[in-house]
């Protein structure tokens, strides 16, 4: 996928090549941009070649989206990306200016200048290749390269964006493409936690975590890193260091499994996802192919389904109930055609429940420890929490429960698996 | 300079190709952007292929400049252009969205997409070539092409901007490049006036004016069109129609001399320029080459001098006084080295006067009418206005006077040359 540079290979030991990505709050004001500039200059003075990737100033992307929505309810996706990309364009140039102001040398590089080639899926484009030559030219001149995150261009030169959190992906993909020794993700939290510290005071910072675990946590609701960025880091073995832009403390290293598994924890983290809705299709005809019909139709509308359960139905003999979850944000547009298909499949009723949450435990250690799922069910049962659905993978167990139990479930699972003692 | 398209040549009579440029106030709010969209769609429905060029929403460029100046007193010119270009990027995409909202089809095109190739003089770049293929592709799909004004790219792909009013230049240059039948410049005034209506109530709208006269008026202080845009219109014979975006009234046509000179006026307009400062270098040694030394040194600092007068000096025998004017905005940085050179040339003193204004009369008819300058001097003298310096060309006469007489001079010259009766 990514184009490695021969230049980096030719002088691997000469200087270390570091990518630093700064999120929206880290560049949220001129003062903070100055901090970013000072940090980048300090890193450069430490003998490194430095590439920084910046998000839009916090609030800017929302301001631009609001402006577009004032024009039209559903803006054209191509034009929306043209508007949205200006957020990072401005912060990249301001950061380069701030580096000048602090006595350094820098140059901003936009998606089409780098160039970051993506597919043509506006607002959620995927990076195909990154050309490193403009970055290397900049570094060779002794400059810090400031890359605008979140944006790219498709093969026709149209501006694309990578979706919310897309600057993480830019950072990791650039690091992979230029062969950087690591990618530092500077954010407003100081690392990845065993669970959300906002609802669980005993949450602990995780010093090292594997790509696989991070991927599960990100997919299951942890907001620290964009999923796509972790996928790329794993694929290209880029060590990622998630840390605070407001301190010099070590954060969390996201790395390969061998390095991450230094201690013997079975469960690494507890995640929860509130953006799930449960759909209950009552009494469809129970014959082979019916469920396939249903989910093919939903997939055809580009909607992802998460947990799925099929039960014998109380609606009658030869009838089955199908329960599944999907993103709340997809529910409104999904309702119409779900009901249409349900009717066709002989269903008498479709019920919806948005008052649900998915809590999950994640850990590489599960692979070699039995009874982890059973322990999770027991902990929830002890608190009187009913489990509505279950899904598992090799390194995670997820339970769908009533939303009112969210905090209780997270706290008791967290401490029940000993994460308060890590 | 510009690349003409073979496509336009192949089907010249099929549809007329129109370029409409909208200034910052014309796209100053979402409601106004909707107006622009409706006008463009109406033009398209009238059987035309439509290209529109937009400025940044009014106030936006200043907001972006202020942001940059918060970071650093003198921002790097390259990075400043990266920031400034986002103003037009946003308005172009919002305008395309507004066209969708009004039921039309459109696509925004940025400088690097069009592509508008410029030299590398950041903040005041000059267009070298315009490639029309992306515009024609857009038109062929039945879409309105919305081009971001003011911006281009240099040969290295760096973003450049064309200076204040640069969107006029984009409009006219695009019109020339694609072989458009005309370029309409929509602005917040309804045309070019015989003088500034704000200080002269009897000012009249000029129906037709020649490129030459427009060029002089723009150079002498009239703010309606950027000078560079008139130069390009003249070079490529693009008829320019300056008109209001808030009405359907005919504005002013800027065209070739033959069409413009329909009536028999001698003086077409009166202009004034307040951004002039007078410099008086007292008592330099009066020998050949001295004045050349002085002005070569000033030119070497990239500062333009306007009017120049050399007199015998009261400072002594073999001494001369040199008076000249330059832009007030250049005065601060010019003072230091002017005094240094003056000293070297034996001058005893350098005096400055910022309380001056240059009033000018412009008209093609001057070429065939004698006594126009004399009449101007007489009109000013009758009002007791002292003339500090004079400069003339084939079609204009300029006088430097005390700034307090600005309005009086403009009004009496305007009516004295019969412009209130046009």
Q: How many angstroms separate the CA atoms of B16 and B280, rounded?
A: 55
pLDDT, averaged across chain B: 91
The predicted pLDDT at position A86 comes to 98
Pairing of strands A356-362, A305-312: unpaired
The predicted pLDDT at position A105 comes to 98
- Give the CA-trace dihedral at A61, A67, A72, A76, to 10 degrees: -40
The predicted pLDDT at position B332 comes to 87
Mean of the pLDDT values across residues B178-185? Answer: 96
Q: Judge contact between A56 and A95, C-beta under 8 A.
A: no
Q: pLDDT tier at B333 (50, 70, 90 boundaries)?
A: confident
| More confident of the two residues A316 and A273 | A273
Q: How many Cβ atoms sit within 10 Å of the Cβ of residue A105?
A: 15
Q: pLDDT tier at B15 (50, 70, 90 boundaries)?
A: low
pLDDT at B260 over 70: no
The predicted pLDDT at position B336 comes to 87
The predicted pLDDT at position B259 comes to 58
Name the nearest CA neighbour of B79 among A151, A181, A381, A37. A37
Inter-chain touch B76–A100, beta carbons under 8 Å: yes
Q: How many angstroms separate the CA atoms of A161 and A121, rounded?
A: 8
Inter-chain touch B94–A67, beta carbons under 8 Å: yes
The predicted pLDDT at position B220 comes to 87
| More confident of the two residues A417 and A302 | A417
Q: How many angstroms separate the CA atoms of B239 and B175, rounded?
A: 9
Helix (H, G, I), strand (E, B) or coil at B188: coil
Mean of the pLDDT values across residues A28-33? Answer: 96
pLDDT at B7 over 50: no
Inter-chain touch A97–B108, beta carbons under 8 Å: no
Mean of the pLDDT values across residues B91-120? Answer: 97
Q: Judge contact between A145 and A133, C-beta under 8 A.
A: no
Q: How many Cβ atoms sit within 10 Å of the Cβ of residue A82?
A: 31
B151 strand-pairing partners: B161
pLDDT at B402 over 60: yes
Q: How many angstroms separate the CA atoms of B384 and B380, rounded?
A: 7
State the smallest CA–CA distance between residue B115 and chain A in angstroms.
11
Q: Judge contact between A132 and A112, C-beta under 8 A.
A: no
**How far separated are the first and last CA of chain A, in Å rounded?**
38
Q: How many angstroms separate the CA atoms of B322 and A222, rounded?
A: 74
Inter-chain touch B97–A72, beta carbons under 8 Å: yes
State the smallest CA–CA distance between residue B90 and chain A in angstroms.
5
Look at the alpha carbons of B402, B404, B405, B406 in this order and tell me if their dihedral is positive or negative.
positive
Helix (H, G, I), strand (E, B) or coil at A140: helix
Inter-chain touch B70–A30, beta carbons under 8 Å: yes
Q: Does B17 touch chain A (CB under 8 A)?
A: no
| More confident of the two residues A260 and A351 | A351
Distances (CA, A) of A416 to A266, A361, A380, A386, A413: 12, 11, 10, 17, 5
**Range list of β-strands (E), B264-393:** 269-273, 276-285, 305-312, 319-327, 349-353, 356-362, 389-393
Mean of the pLDDT values across residues A66-73? Answer: 96
- pLDDT digit string (tens) for B78-92? 999 999 999 999 999
Give Cβ neighbours of residue A219 (< 8 Å, ≥ 6 apart): A227
Which residues in chain A have Cβ-Cβ distances shorter than 8 Å to B92? 82
**Range list of β-strands (E), A295-410:** 305-312, 319-327, 349-353, 356-362, 389-393, 396-402
- pLDDT digit string (tens) for B285-325? 888 888 888 888 888 888 888 898 888 888 778 888 999 99
- pLDDT digit string (tens) for A147-199? 999 999 999 999 999 988 899 999 999 999 999 999 999 998 899 999 999 99
State the smallest CA–CA distance between residue B122 and chain A in angstroms.
14
Which residues in chain A have Cβ-Cβ distances shorter than 8 Å to B82? 89-90, 92-93, 96, 108, 110
Identify which of A67, A72, A85 has the shortest CB distance to residue B100: A72
Question: DSSP alpha helices (H): ranges in B179-286?
Answer: 211-219, 227-235, 257-260
Identify which of B86, B112, B158 has the shortest CB distance to residue A90: B86
pLDDT at A366 over 90: no
Pairing of strands B127-130, B116-118: antiparallel
| More confident of the two residues A183 and A364 | A183
Distances (CA, A) of A387 to A18, A243, A357: 46, 35, 10
pLDDT, averaged across chain A: 91
The predicted pLDDT at position B13 comes to 43
Q: Does B96 touch chain A (CB under 8 A)?
A: yes
State the smallest CA–CA distance between residue A36 and chain B in angstroms.
12
Which residues in chain B have Cβ-Cβ distances shorter than 8 Å to A86? 86, 89-90
Inter-chain touch A86–B82, beta carbons under 8 Å: no
The predicted pLDDT at position A5 comes to 44
The predicted pLDDT at position A39 comes to 96
Give Cβ neighbours of residue A187 (< 8 Å, ≥ 6 apart): A23, A25, A26, A224, A242, A243, A244, A245
The predicted pLDDT at position B337 comes to 86
Inter-chain touch B97–A76, beta carbons under 8 Å: yes
The predicted pLDDT at position B12 comes to 41
What interface predicted TM-score (ipTM) does this complex get?
Answer: 0.84
> What DSSP designation does B250 have?
-
To test the contact with chain A by mutation, choose from B30, B67, B72 the residue with the greatest count of A C-beta atoms within 10 A, namely: B72
Q: pLDDT tier at A224 (50, 70, 90 boundaries)?
A: confident
| More confident of the two residues B365 and A315 | B365
Q: Does B374 touch chain A (CB under 8 A)?
A: no
Q: Judge contact between A356 and A403, C-beta under 8 A.
A: yes
- pLDDT digit string (tens) for B51-74? 999 999 999 999 999 999 999 999
pLDDT at A116 over 80: yes
Mean of the pLDDT values across residues A118-133? Answer: 94
Q: How many angstroms separate the CA atoms of B167 and B159, rounded?
A: 15
Q: pLDDT tier at A260 (50, 70, 90 boundaries)?
A: low
Q: Lowest-confidence range among A168-177, A281-290, B1-10? A: B1-10
The predicted pLDDT at position B263 comes to 56
Q: Lowest-confidence range among A11-20, A329-338, A365-374, B368-377? A: A11-20
To test the contact with chain A by mutation, choose from B97, B98, B107, B109 the residue with the greatest count of A C-beta atoms within 10 A, namely: B97
- pLDDT digit string (tens) for B130-181? 998 999 999 999 999 999 999 999 999 999 999 888 999 999 999 999 999 9
């Amino acid at each position: 996928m990514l184009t490695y540079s021969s230049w980096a290979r030719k002088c691997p030991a000469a200087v270390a090549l570091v990518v630093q990505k700064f999120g929206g709050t880290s560049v949220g004001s001129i003062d903070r941009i100055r901090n970013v500039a000072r940090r980048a200059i300090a890193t450069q003075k430490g003998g490194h070649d430095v590439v920084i990737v910046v998000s839009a100033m916090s609030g800017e992307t929302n301001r631009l989206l609001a402006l577009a929505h004032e024009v039209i309810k559903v803006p054209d996706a191509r034009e929306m990306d043209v508007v949205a990309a200006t957020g990072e364009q401005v912060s990249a140039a301001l950061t380069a200016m701030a580096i000048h102001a602090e006595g350094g040398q820098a140059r901003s590089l936009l998606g089409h200048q780098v160039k970051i080639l993506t597919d043509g899926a506006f607002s959620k484009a995927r990076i195909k290749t990154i050309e490193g030559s403009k970055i290397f030219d900049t570094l060779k001149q002794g400059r810090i390269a400031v890359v605008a995150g979140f944006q790219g261009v498709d093969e026709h030169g149209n501006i694309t964006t990578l979706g919310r959190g897309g600057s993480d992906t830019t950072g990791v993909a650039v690091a992979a493409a230029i062969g950087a020794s690591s990618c530092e993700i500077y954010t407003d939290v100081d690392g990845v936690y065993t669970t959300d510290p906002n609802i669980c005071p005993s949450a602990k910072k995780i010093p090292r975590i594997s790509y696989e675990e991070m991927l599960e946590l990100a997919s299951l609701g942890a907001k620290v890193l964009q999923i796509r960025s972790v996928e790329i880091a794993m694929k290209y073995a880029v060590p990622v260091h998630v840390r605070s832009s407001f301190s010099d403390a070590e954060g969390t290293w996201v790395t390969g499994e061998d390095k991450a598994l230094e201690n013997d924890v079975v469960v690494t983290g507890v995640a929860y996802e509130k953006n799930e809705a449960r759909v209950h299709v009552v009494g469809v005809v129970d014959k082979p192919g019916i469920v396939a019909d249903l989910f093919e139709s939903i997939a055809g509308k580009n909607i992802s389904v998460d947990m799925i359960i099929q039960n014998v139905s109380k609606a009658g003999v030869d009838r089955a109930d199908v329960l599944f979850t999907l993103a709340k944000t997809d529910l409104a547009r999904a309702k119409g055609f779900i009901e249409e298909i349900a009717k066709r499949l002989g269903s008498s009723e479709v019920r919806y429940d948005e008052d649900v949450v998915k809590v999950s435990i994640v850990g590489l250690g599960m692979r070699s420890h039995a009874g982890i799922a059973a322990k999770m069910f027991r902990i929830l049962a002890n608190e009187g929490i009913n489990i509505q659905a279950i899904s598992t993978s090799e390194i995670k167990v997820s339970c769908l429960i009533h939303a009112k139990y969210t905090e209780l479930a997270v706290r008791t699972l967290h401490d029940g698996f000993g994460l308060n003692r890590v």
